[in-house]
Structure 1
């Protein structure tokens, strides 16, 4: 009885701390508690440590040199303080895998859990660290320089950060769980693949708008107090949708390879 109680208190404290330090909104804090509870039930304390590493490292990188990122955040619908949709987009697949493992224990669900978090970590590190690149990133649609902070763009620094973020989760998985070196390699590879899927969707599918007042290209439906005009992608495909789908896709692909090869 003590372990579930300790885990519940730990999750509640962590979610409350995220709200107190303005890393999460109230809805984001509630969502973090729900995802944390599912993870604790499905994969215990070690699962929470991996989830906690993702949220902690993501929050640290989002605050790192935050004054330089303020201008880029104006392009996006939301700032660095995460709401429930952002939390669910990054941790939703991991929560689903946790619940499935609770109901039907299997190494397959563990791989899905770890790959989805590796993908989320890869994408977040790429975005937060890559935005500090001295040169403008390249658009995946045109392969021409584009404004920093634009979805669907890549940079050398961001790519290295994406690889580091994915394999950080893979290394942590190797230390905490009974996964082999090859399974950890699979986690790292498909975590990075999730970032690539996110970038491709961001370039060709994610919604982008033009402000009718200042003519800036943004990811917000409103800008300068006026509705913005859709110029690319689908309206429902915002950044949260793309993040969730890329994490889910990378987890499913990794599960498929894991089942047929290992």
Structure 2
């Protein structure tokens, strides 16, 4: 860990992360502890995935903030309690970025399998962005909403409810992370597919467990990113075997 802390580039990245987090706290986008958590996760990702990792986190953060802020009045009519939110807390940051942080730590302690962990990191972030965009923008632009388990029409905004428009938007989000990580090619396709699968798992968990108050939204988000990471690894290994 010592060489990492003495790396001039990482020192600059850490400083920039801290400045960005201060700005986010001032703007009300993150609570104080959420900002500290985000800075730590960002540093871990940068230490293992370098500029690609920072780029993925930057894309996720910017698009998530824009999507969350978009058509806020409409969302408040659907979810009146959303008006009371004052910024993401540390648990929400860990729910979306915790798996990326775990894969970063695994990469540091098991560098011989770094390529696996970085792909899992990208897949988890693809799922996190897909989930955020599909829920935030699908709520606004969706036309017909269906329960992902029964496929029956249900009200917009309920746990486990999806729309075609939201699903497509989520897939685009997963694709953006995939392109950021790997450009065009097989790896990008794997990351994008894993992100879409993770997003579907989020809806399934929402319909099966969250709606019954068995788990909360933060746990759903953590599990869907973890599922995407595992799905990405399995797809990668499968392609390797067939290749």
TM-score (norm 2): 0.89
What per-residue deviation string (whole Å, max 9, x for no partner) do you get for residues 144-192 of structure 1? 33222211001111011111010011111124xxxx7111100000100
Greater helix content: 2
Aligned to 1:217: none
Is 1:238 matched up with 2:216?
A: yes
Q: Which 5+ residue runs of structure 2 have no aligned equivalent?
A: 1-6
- Is 2:75 aligned against 1:69? yes
- State the distance in 2 between where 1:31 and 1:78 align: 22
Structure 1 window deviating more from structure 2 (162-171 vs 96-105): it is 96-105
Does 2:56 match 1:50?
yes
Tell me what 2:4 maps to: none
Whether the 8 Å contact between 1:61 and 1:125 is mirrored in structure 2 is yes
Contact 1:118 1:188 (C-alpha < 8 Å) held by counterparts: yes
Contact 2:76/2:83 (CA < 8 Å) preserved in 1? Answer: no
Q: Pick from 121, 135, 138 the counterpart of residue 127 of structure 1.
A: 135
2:196 is the alignment partner of 1:188: no
- Whichever structure has more strand as a proportion of its residues is 1
Provide the C-alpha distance between the structure 2 equivalents of 1:66 and 1:181, rounded to a whole number of angstroms.
36
Paired with 1:27 and 1:188, the residues of 2 have a C-alpha distance of 31
Residue 205 of structure 2 is aligned with which of 201, 205, 208? 201
Partner-residue secondary structure (3-state), 1:132: helix
Compared CA separation, residues 122 and 185, structure 1 to 2 (3 A): same
Which structure 1 residue ranges, 5 or more long, are not aligned? 209-231
